[in-house]
Amino acid sequence: MAQRGAFIVFEGCDRAGKTTQCKKLVDALNRKNVPTEFMNFPDRSTAIGQIINDYLQKKIHLPDKAVHLLFSANRWELEPKLREKLESGISLVVDRYSYSGVAFSAAKKGMDLQWCWNPEIGLLEPDAVFLLNLSEEAAAMRGGFGQERYENLDFQKQVKENFMAMKSSSWKLIDADKSLEDLHLEIMELFNKVYTTSHGTPFKRF
Ligand code: DGP
Ligand code: NA
Ligand code: NA
């Protein structure tokens, strides 16, 4: 049986460069013959994901708790696919996961971390979480927010605090205020450490 793939989650506030770095990591690993796939949450392509998309684009309104459970259901509906890929030896680089779920939902009034965490219990746990951290000043220099729900400064500050409150020893806090290439190299090194720990051998020799 193939050795299980590594499962890496990227988290962070909006505009930290997560999606770009996820895709660069996936490409680099595939070039080094580490079979790797990109996934992202919310996955807007499913029926549940389409409701989430309408909610984020402010086309519909939903109560906070209901929408939190939809985001969570979106992760659960893809859980069999994640499991299957990891078990077949494919590594996964995932752009947002349960931690975004909890950090964003708990930033709302009347929602707390524990309530938000409950529907996430039992989902596959990543080998590592890479938290891309960008100061407000550096983020502001990257241009304005988009038009989607949650894309405002006060909300994002609360989200960042929530990420910090959830952080555990398997999280790598990464300063995202550097060039694309420098950030990519740092992430490759970190991935190599995680891969070596879970697989016993590095994926590349130095
Ligand atoms: P993205 O497509 O990565 O830009 O994510 C869409 C937005 O949804 C982003 O602001 C983060 C937020 N988000 C991601 N997962 C969850 C979740 O489970 N719950 C809530 N409330 N928001 C989430
Ligand atoms: Na966004
Ligand atoms: Na709250």
Of the candidates 62, 150, 81, 162, the one whose C-alpha atom is nearest the C-alpha of residue 116 is 162
Q: Is 105 in the pocket of ligand 1 (CB under 6 A)?
A: yes
This prediction's pTM: 0.94
Q: How many CB atoms lie within 10 A of CB 153?
A: 12
**Where residue 44 falls among pLDDT bands split at 50, 70, 90?**
very high
pLDDT confidence of 186, banded at 50, 70, 90? very high
Per-residue pLDDT tens for 188-201? 999 999 998 878 77
ipTM, two decimals: 0.94
Contacts of 11 (CB under 8 A, 6+ apart): 18, 96, 97, 99, 100, 103, 129, 130, 131, 132, 163
Mean pLDDT value of segment 69-78:
98
Q: For residue 177, what are its two tokens? A: 């205020």
Confidence (pLDDT) at 53: 98
Q: What pLDDT is recorded for position 141? A: 79
In the chain, which residue ranges form alpha helices assigned H by DSSP?
18-31, 47-56, 64-77, 79-87, 98-105, 113-117, 136-141, 153-166, 180-199
Q: Determine whether the shortest distance from the Cβ of 56 to ligand 1 is under 6 A.
A: yes
Residue 204: the pLDDT is: 53
Res 91 pLDDT > 80: yes
Give CA–CA dist 13/99, Å, rounded.
11
User: Is residue 111 helix, strand or coil?
Assistant: coil
**DSSP string over 164-175:** HHH--TTEEEEE
**Contact between 175 and 133 (Cβ < 8 Å):** yes
Q: How many CA atoms lie within 13 A of 7 on its CB side?
A: 18
Question: Span 99-127, mean pLDDT?
Answer: 96
* Closest ligand by atom to 96 CA: 1
Most ligand 1 atoms within 8 A of CB, residue of 38, 56, 99, 116 to mutate: 56
CA–centroid distance, residue 81 to ligand 2 (Å): 24
Please report which confidence band the pLDDT of residue 206 belongs to, taking 50, 70 and 90 as the band edges.
very low
Which atom in ligand 1 lies closest to the alpha carbon of residue 149?
10
pLDDT digits (tens, 9 = 90+) for 163-175: 999 999 989 999 9
Most confident stretch, 50-59, 142-151, 163-172:
50-59
Residue nearest to atom 4 of ligand 1 (CA): 14
**Is-contact 165 171, C-beta < 8 A?**
no
Residues whose CB falls within 8 Å of the CB of residue 184, separated by 6 or more in sequence, listed in order: 21, 24, 25, 28
**For ligand 1, atom 19, which residue shows the shortest CA distance?**
101
Residues with CB under 5 A from ligand 3 (ion): 106, 111
